[in-house]
Structure 1
Amino acid sequence: MNSGDEPFNEFASQISRSLFDRILRSTETKVSLNIQQRMRPELWEFPNRYTYEGKRRNATSTHGIGIPPTFLNGLNEWILMHYPEQDMNRVNCHLLGISINGTMARDERTMSRYNVANVTTVMTLIERILPVDGYTFTLLVPYLGQKSLYIEALQRLSQRTGVAFEHLPKVLTIDAAQGHEADVVLVDWTVTNSERRSDLGFLQENRRVNLGLTRAKGCLLSVGNEDIASGKLSNHL
């Protein structure tokens, strides 16, 4: 086994299967909803096509789901500050990808993955939109190591700015986000390359990726490294 490989676990496929999936597989009678009412149509387009074979339709009401004005103002200011060359008329703030040239690492004790550069950049956005008041904003991450970095950074930000911790974004792992939704969701994928299968981590698992992509109602920010789309295993994404 190479140092970068995931340790083998013969029970991994069973452990990773959710209770819902087990129940679904154990019964012949299934009822499937075919209309989604949570999110903007453009946020639903990819999950619907990739995971649900285009079989789910958008409720008419989803076209009217907006972005909280205070968040949108802060987001626009942040984009202009960090990407001054960007033509804002061409930016769809409902669905935004942010590429960060960072490096993933592993915690020596827990082996959980983390990415300092992603946290540093995302925190500049969070500081720009403070406080989170009158709407919900959640940060989703695949790994506990990355969650710990965000919690520590948010605690420091709260102490420095005087903004109460409850008026900062909530941080959840993707696995803990089942049943959760928020007006604004930022998904930090943490990984930075796709040369080996083990590099992709949770990005290999459609169920987890789909869960991360379907929690937002009005605005989804996807944070990662564009290089993962050009690696040898990019077709697994």
Structure 2
Amino acid sequence: MKRSINIITKRAVLAASLACAISITACSQDSTGADADTKDLLTKFALGDTSVLKDGQQEEWYIPDFQSDEFTYEYTLLDLDGDGKEEMIIQMENQPEGFSSVFHVEDNKVVCWFSDSFEQTCFDYPLDNGSMVEEYNYGGSITYTILKYDATGETESIAELFVREDNNGDESIKCPEYLIDGSEVSKEKFEQELKSQIQNHQLDASAWTKI
């Protein structure tokens, strides 16, 4: 009888401990804004489980096999739309111009918000403040467009920085030229804004997880 009581007692303690741990975890998730189910679905998807994708996503978007030996991919998790839950950004390892994408969880299914692997001169990458940058390199000029996602996956441009320091042999083009939101600024002002708005917020290698 004592043994039975001890077993029951131990089970009760274990159950209570587990309930406490779950409660603590749930509170932690609420306080950090990190949703375990969202992370779990996104991680499963990155590791090759396409069953978590919403129907039609693979027909609508280019979604490669991230487990393929042909290329190596990496991901990071950031809240891009400000809803407290993280999106997953997947890119070719150290090479967003080769492939970059954004995935979101909606109604317990993974949906693609963005995917690009074709335009080598124009590519997207995330910042640590939850913004994205679309960088376009063409003809000796670079345009940096800072974007914010909304809850539907649409983006809004919140700032644009433009620099041309090479006229690519075209003497009719103004060079050098520095613009912020369409207004001409000095080189010093441009570099200051580029650093404060983009370079200071770029993710380092430790923020990415290799798939």
Question: Which TM bucket (shorter chain)?
Answer: under 0.3
Give the structure with higher Rg (CA): 2
More strand by share: 2
Q: Which has the higher contact order (CA 8 A, sep 6+)?
A: 1
Higher helix proportion (structure 1 or 2): 1
Report the TM-score, using the length of structure 1 for normalisation: 0.22
